[in-house]
Structure formats: structure tokens, C-alpha cells
Chain A
């Protein structure tokens, strides 16, 4: 049996090379993401850092860890999906060989063992290559994280001995899991049915496939329904998770959907061969389309969702913030100690807006100073400490500047309120608050503002809770509203003494650009390598699909088609499958967009959808170029020998 397995490996090397590549890259991606995640989670702040710097560092690390968590989740999903679908495809492509084994006395168990043996061998071999490849991927991912400023410049993924077990486990487990269902299916085929290509052997949709499709469809629908009730953070997370189950559901039904849509794609093919193949080789069409559907759903769905949430947040911020100018300074501007004109930096001994009110043309000012802090909630086993962002505000001025903050008006003394960033208990709760170098003890949460799309400070505290010394180095934004008769230019000039002055519109525009840029960087880290992996999966499936078509091509040629016509026919078939996959990937993305629309409407009152047309165009172009080029190369290679030679060999 092992001899047979070895002979099979040598004979159908393209099939196995494709499967091996999928394991190698999958293991590399999972290993790299996991090592980076562990490294980030155990990262220590630089020696000599102040308490405030330590808290800022912990906040940044927590963000990097959650981002790497998403990267790891995506890597595991993609590895599982690409490896299992590639292995299942290689089994499907060898049905005739397997049926022959059954004819000469092979039992079901022997077939299953043969296929599982292959999977274990390829999984282990893939892991062996995947471990060093993973180190290269880790260097690339780490470089991206540092370049984009998500981690300190000193950050570098660290090797851990136990990762060998994880990587080999991942490779073997995913390969075996991928082959398990296909092996069971293949071994149940009666020898004659497979030889005839009729009955269950040729059946394109199985009950188990339909069941898997329905389960994932249910998952996608559940996320879509619940997302608008999850608040900004929960809703966003749920909406951005829709592409995965939606794509798996679409892929499960692909043997029905791909030929159906492909038939509608307009093209003229020589001899009608491409159309006939589309309706005949449904499973092959579906297997080729599967990784492309996932790629489109993940990239278009997630990038679209990310951009839409960012746009929605910016829009919400713009409509809910009422001011004319924004002054940015380090520490609150002090009335007694005005800043030196040369540096523009105020020396703030006392927080507050008093200094601004002396300036002609200023109607009101909301001074908001951001300080890192730690909150501890719960008790006993549920006790949890989290690094948060705290905003020192003047409750009355804040309520004038920001909508939905009327409840803050009475905030004073040792009372605190839940901020627009969420993540802390609402009114009625208690938090234990620690600011750098000082434990403020238990404080009652007496009010709160609704969580917003862009987030922001988690906790709002009244002036006086923190000392001027604690605020003097903290970044501060002062939202200034001018009187109706103000000389804007003169007032702006006067305010410039306290810090950098911009109009609110310019400030929001700059925030929007920064938010979009951050979103794009996150998407690149989360989807960049994963997308590349899925694209390699697409190439893989085309190569595997073509590996067993030599006889079919030779038959077409001896029937009278020229080599050029055969290649053209294969290209048109690939084109129709690619267009179908793009449409089906679009359907899975559309499911995400429905969740995005309902979530943004529920949080901000306005449903927002900002479609990333550049990325959609890029994905479409790349998909068409890659599938066309791969099909061209594989079909040219498959038709190189004389057809008669191939018919004899087959």
C-alpha cells in the first residue's frame, strides 16, 4: 500500500505538489501569527519608563495583541479552508484510481488508510517546510507591524521551542481533517459506479455538503441579525466576521451555483466545449472557484466593512461635535501661567477653560485632557484590570460641545461617567481607578454617554479628581465655540498662544485621514498575507484541475480541434468560473455589507456603506489575470505532446 502511495506521489506530482504547498504556506502563516501574538502579549515596557508611559505601552500592546489575534484567527481559517479543500480536490481527482483499487480487491478501510497515510505524510512534510518558511513570514509580518507603528521599533517575533509541536500538529491535523470526509466519500463508492462516472460517484451535491452549507448560512444570518444589537464594538466585530461563514456557505453550494452563473456569462467558445465542460465537470468548477470566493469575500467584505465603519464614525463625530476651533496642547492651558509665545506650550498649573474666556470672541470652551489609566472591575475570580483612556472634562462645557451628554452635567467630586469608548460599567456601577503613580480607589459611575463608532475615552472624570501636576504632560484638545460677532482671525491668533489651532472641519478631516490610513494598515496586516495565501490557493486549484485533463484535451484535438482552440476553450471556461466566483464572493461580501448598514444605522442613526472600489477593482483584475495566466500555462503544457501519445498514455 505504501509502495502504491509512493508510486502515486511520483506519478501525480502536480496534485501532491499543490497539496504540499497549501500545507507549507498554511503552517507558515499560522506559526508566524502565533509567535508574534505570544511575543506581543509578553512584551515588557522599556526599562525606565514612567508609570504613564507604562500604561500607554500596555494600551498599545493590548491593541497589537487583539490585532494579531484577528490575524491568527484569519490564518487558522484560511489554512483550514485552503488545505482541506485542496486535499479534498486531490482525492476527487483520483476517483478512477481509487475505484480501480476497489475492483481488484481493495477494501474501504484500505482506501481510507491509503488516503489518510498520504495526508499524514504530506502534512508532516508540509510542516517541515512550513517551519522555516514561517520564520521568514514572521520577519515580514513583524516588519509590517513596526513600519506601521503598531509595535515598538524593538519588536521582533521570538522563536519558541514548543511551536514545533504546534506547527507539525497544524500541518498533519488540517491535512487529515481535509482528507477525512473526501476519503470516506471516495471509499464508499462502488467500483462500477466510479468507472462509469454515474450514480453517487458523479453526484455533485451531497447531503453532508448541503448540511455544512446550511449550518454556515445560519451562522452568517445569525451574525447579520445580531450585529445591530451589539453596540459599536460588538456590532463591528460581528459584521466583520460575516464574510467567513457567508463564504463557506456559498462555497458549499458552489457545485450548484458556479455552473448556473457560469452558464450566464456571455462568450463564444469553439465547438461549445467550454460550456459543455462547465455543466459537466461541476465539482471541478466548484473546487477551482472555492478559494477565489473566499478571497473575494474576505478582502472585499472586510475592507468594505472597515472603510464603512470608519466613514460612519467620522460622520457621527462631525454631526455630534459642535465647535468652531480646536486647540491642541500639552496639558490644559493655564490661566495664571500663560504659555510663552515662542514655544506655544502652556505651563498648566490648573486645568480649565478660564484662560480662554479672557480672549475676545470665545463663547465657550470644552477642555479635554487625555490620561492613561487602569480600571479594575468585578471582584474575586471575575476581577479584571484593563488599561483604558480617561478624559478630564468640564461636564457642562462637554455637554455643550458633544451631543447626548446632558447626563454629565451634574458630574463632580469623586464621580465618574462612562465615555464614548465603552468598555466600563454604565451608570450605577463602580470602578477602581488607578492613574499613573496613584490609586484613586473605588469610584461610582453616575452617568454615561452612548458608545460611538469611533470610540474614544472610556471614562470621563470631572476636573479636580486629578491634580494639575498629573495633567501637565497630558495631550489636551480644547473645543472652542466663537461668539457670533467674533473676529475669527484675531481670536485664532490669540488662541495660538496656547497651542496648535485648527478649524473643527480641518481637525475632523485630518482625523478621518488618519483613521482611514490606520484602517488600511490594519487591513494590510490582517489580510495582506492571508489574501496572498488564498491567491496561491486559487493557482493551486487551477493547476490541480488541469493535471487530470490531458486526456480530455487530447480527445478534443483528435476530434478536430486545433491546439489553439483547445487552449482558448480552457481559457474561456476559466474566465466563466472566475466571473462566477467573483459574483459569489460578492454575494458573501454583500451579506457583510447588510450587517454593516444595520449596525451603523443602529449606532449612529444613519446606515453607512463606503465601498472600496479601488480594492474591488484590484481584486477583480488580479483574479482575472491570475486565473487566465495559470490556465494559459497549464493548458499549453497539457497540450504540448502529440494527442495520440497522450491518449495512449492515459
Chain B
């Protein structure tokens, strides 16, 4: 059951915990985290491997249930939302971008982009879909299938697919992790432009360069928030990360 709670943030996590396993083998991937991702801002989540970054992102996006605490997307509490509510949420209010692109191989770029709208029962016009592809610079690749595109291009199609529904929040899990530096730069430029235009973005990354493009950086260690930086340079982010990785 969803409830309305006013927080003002794009996403609010209130004391959430997520435990894997039981008894002595139990692992607290996320441990009592309280955090707000601001509306219209780009937040990067960093931390050493196994610090709980991806789990935090999945919990925030409703892909994984929390064991305790509350998760709010805007003013909607999704902590105990049912499958159909989460499905509707994914259709209309949140978008995902993953490291491995996760495009559907049998569909062309424009069909991939149009898919969320069609699943929502809409019949998007070709112009609408092309316009979205144009924002990621791929209007001329609309009829190509994923295998005919480079990694960077595939990731831009994935971003276009996530953005076509004009979501409140875009969740990105290592979006540049599988890309070369040039393709990564293009993707980060795209995300920056989106954030500048008012898009809320929550991004998990291990790359200080990528994190430095965000407005703020949250550091996780052993499932807890251990530090935060705002407007930091790549060097400053790398140094802080090194501190927590020691």
C-alpha cells in the first residue's frame, strides 16, 4: 500500500536495511541508511567493491525490497508496494540504465526506445521516438539493432529508452563501466545536460571521473553512508575514495 509523505526529495531512504542470508552467514549489504537524493540533482554513489552501492540503488528503485526502513519516490512510499504498483512506477516515474545496456537484441534502436511507452498502452509516434533518439545523438541509427551499434551507442539508446517516459528519477548503475573513455565521456556529457535541464539522477559508479561530473557524491562503506562531497573535483573524489578503500 502506498502512502503520501512530504519529503521534497526525488528519492528518500529512511533508515533502510537489506540483509542477505541468515544466522552467522548473514551479510548486511545496506545497514540503516538514511539519505535524500535531491530533486533535479545528480547524485553519485561511490564505495569500495562490496560496500552495498548497487543494493542501495536497487532498493531505492524498488527492484529489491528492504528489510526495514522506508523508501519514497517523490512523495510516494513504495516500501510495501505490490507488483502492479511497482510496474506502473517503472512505466511512468523511474528509468533505469545499466552497465550492460540490457537492450532487447531483436528490436531496433527506435523499437527499444518506444517499448516502455507501448507497454504502458501508448502508441508513440515515430517523430516522438526519433526526437528522443535525437537527444542522445542517434536519430540516424534508429533502424539499427543493438548488435550493429558500438557500446557507447548502445548505452545512449538505453538512456533514450529510460528517458522516453520523462521519469522523475533516472537510476544508473555503472553506466560507463563497460565503455571506453571517449564513449564514457559522451554518456557523462549527456547525463550532465539532462541534470542541468532538471532531471533527477542517482548513479552508482566506481569511477572518480564519472562521480566528479555529478552534483554531489555519497560514499558508502560496509553498507553505511560514511561521507559526502559536493562539487568535488576528480582528484578530490579519488582521494576520498582511496581513504575509504584502505
Contact = CB atoms under 8 A, between A and B. Distances in A.
A191 B92 CA distance: 16
B156 interface: no
B185 interface: no
B102 A105 contact: no
B106 A105 contact: no
Interface stretch (B29-37, B83-91, B189-197, B208-216): B83-91
A100 interface: yes
Nearest to A195: B102
A192 B87 contact: no
A444 to B, nearest CB: 72
Given A3-B111, A192-B58, A649-B147, A8 B120 contact: no
Given A7-B111, A97-B104, A649-B147, A103 B87 contact: no
Contacts of B225: none
B46 to A, nearest CB: 21
Given A7-B106, A192-B63, A110 B119 contact: yes
A191 B64 CA distance: 9
A107 B89 CA distance: 11
Contact of B84 (A8, A107, A650): A107
A4 interface: yes
Contacts of B103: 100
B119 A101 contact: yes
B106 A107 contact: no
A104 B64 contact: no
A397 B218 CA distance: 105
Nearest to B114: A3
Interface string B92-118: 100010100011111100010001101
A10 B120 CA distance: 24
Contacts of B115: 4, 101, 104
A91 to B, nearest CB: 15
Given A7-B111, A190-B63, A192-B64, A102 B87 contact: yes
A105 B102 CA distance: 14
B165 interface: yes
A184 B153 CA distance: 34
A12 interface: yes
Given A192-B63, A192-B64, A648-B147, A107 B104 contact: no
Contacts of B98: 195
A104 B119 contact: yes
Given A11-B105, A102-B87, A107 B64 contact: no
Interface string B160-171: 010001000000
Chain B's interface: helix, strand, loop or mixed, by majority?
Answer: helix
Contact of A103 (B90, B92, B106, B120): B90
A102 B104 CA distance: 12
B56 to A, nearest CB: 13
Contact of A107 (B58, B87, B92, B102): B87
Given A3-B111, A107-B87, A8 B119 contact: no
Contacts of A649: 105, 147
Interface residues of A, number: 26
A150 B104 CA distance: 55
Contacts of B106: 4, 7-8, 10-12, 97
A103 B58 CA distance: 12
A104 B63 contact: no
Contacts of A191: 63, 90
A105 B63 contact: no
A16 B17 CA distance: 44
A104 B94 CA distance: 9
A11 B108 CA distance: 11
Contacts of B63: 103, 190-192
B89 to A, nearest CB: 9
Nearest to A7: B106
Interface in A7-55: 7-8, 10-12
Contacts of B116: 104-105
A436 interface: no
Scoring B58, B107, B119 by chain A CB atoms within 10 A of each residue's CB, the highest score goes to B119
Contacts of B111: 3-4, 7
Contacts of B91: 104-105
A536 B224 CA distance: 56
A112 interface: no
A8 B87 CA distance: 22
Nearest to B87: A107
A492 interface: no
Nearest to B113: A104
A105 B147 CA distance: 23
A101 B63 CA distance: 14
Contacts of A97: 104-106
Contacts of B92: 105
Contacts of A472: none
Nearest to B118: A1
A108 interface: yes
A531 to B, nearest CB: 35
Nearest to A105: B91
B168 to A, nearest CB: 14
Interface string B114-140: 011011100000000000000000000
B102 A103 contact: yes
Nearest to A107: B87
A429 interface: no
A106 interface: yes
Contacts of B165: 105
A108 B147 CA distance: 28
Contact of A105 (B64, B83, B90, B107): B90
A108 B85 CA distance: 12
Interface in A635-649: 648-649
Contact of B102 (A11, A12, A100): A100
A340 to B, nearest CB: 84
B139 to A, nearest CB: 20
B118 to A, nearest CB: 7
Interface string A93-121: 00001001111111110100000000000
A104 B161 contact: yes
Nearest to A1: B118
A64 B96 CA distance: 64
Nearest to A108: B83
Contacts of A107: 83-84, 87, 119
Interface in B59-76: 63-64
Nearest to A8: B106
A221 to B, nearest CB: 37
Interface string A153-182: 000000000000000000000000000000
21 contacts: A3-B111, A4-B115, A7-B106, A7-B107, A7-B111, A10-B106, A97-B105, A102-B90, A104-B116, A105-B116, A106-B119, A107-B83, A107-B84, A107-B87, A190-B63, A191-B63, A195-B102, A648-B147, A649-B147, A650-B105, A650-B147
The 5 closest A-B pairs by CB, nearest first: A11-B106, A105-B91, A649-B147, A192-B63, A7-B106
Given A101-B115, A107-B83, 13 more contacts: A4-B118, A7-B107, A97-B104, A103-B96, A105-B119, A105-B165, A107-B87, A108-B84, A110-B119, A190-B63, A191-B90, A192-B58, A648-B147
